[in-house]
Amino acid sequence: MLRMLGILGRIWLGLILFFLYAPIVVMAVMSFNASPYYQLPFEFSTRWYQEMAANDQIITAAIRSVLIACATTVIATALGTAASVALFRYDFRAKRVLQALLFPPIAIPWLISGTAMLIFFFSIGIGRGTPAVIIGHVALALPYVIVTVSARMSSFDITLEEAARSLGASQWTVLRRVTLPWITPGIIAGALFAFAVSFDQFVVSYFLSEPGDTTLPVLIYTAIRKGFTPEINAISTIIIVVSMALVLFATRNSKFGGES
Partner 1 sequence: MADNLTPDDHKRLFTLLSPAYLWLTVAIFLPLSAMLFFSFVSDMPGGDTAWHLTLENYREFVSNPTYFTLLRKSLLLATTVTLICLLIGFPCALVLAKSIKGRSREALFLLVILPFWSNSLVRIFSWAIVLRGNGVLELGLNAVLPFDVRLNLMFTTTAIIIGLVHSYLPYVILTSYLALQAISDDVIDAARTMGASPFTILRRLLIPLSATGLIAGATLVFVPIVGSFMEPRILGGRVGTYYGTVIEDQFVAVYNWPLGAALSFLLLGVVLLILGLASPALKRGAV
Residues in 207-236 that interact with partner 1 by CB under 8 A: 207, 217, 220-221, 224-225, 228, 232-233, 236
Phi, psi of 44 (to 5 degrees): -65, 135
Residue 74 as a binder of partner 1 (CB under 8 A): the answer is no
Instruction: Considering only the stretches 14-22, 51-59, 148-156, 179-187, report the one whose residues sit in contact with partner 1 under the rule CB under 8 A.
Output: 14-22
- Report the alpha-carbon distance of residue 65 to residue 73 in Å, rounded: 12
Pick from 21, 19, 18, 29: nearest CA to 233: 29
5 part of the interface to partner 1, by CB under 8 A: yes
State the number of binding residues for partner 1 (CB under 8 A): 91
Minimum CB–partner distance for residue 60 and partner 1 (Å): 18
**Burial letters 99-126, b for 16+ CB under 10 A, else e:** eeebeebeeeebeebbeebbeebeeeee
In whole angstroms, give the CA distance from residue 45 to residue 7: 40
Q: Name the residue type at position 239.
A: I
188 lines the binding site for partner 1 (CB under 8 A): no
Taking the complex as a whole, the smallest distance from the CB of residue 143 to partner 1 amounts, in Å, to: 9
Stretch that binds partner 1, among 17-25, 51-59, 149-157, 180-188 (CB under 8 A): 17-25
> Least CB distance from residue 259 to partner 1, whole Å?
6
User: Among 92, 167, 168, 226, which residue interacts with partner 1 (rule: CB under 8 A)?
Assistant: 92
Q: Which of residues 140-169 bind partner 1 (CB under 8 A)?
A: 142, 146, 158
- Give the x/- contact pattern for partner 1 in 41-70, rule: CB under 8 A: ------------------------------
The three-class DSSP label of residue 210 is strand
**Alpha-carbon span 48 to 80, nearest angstrom:** 40
CB of 54 to partner 1, least distance (A): 21
Integer Cα distance of 48 and 223 in angstroms: 15
| Residue 50 C-beta: closest distance to partner 1, Å | 20
Cα–Cα distance for residue pair 46/250, rounded to 1 Å: 30
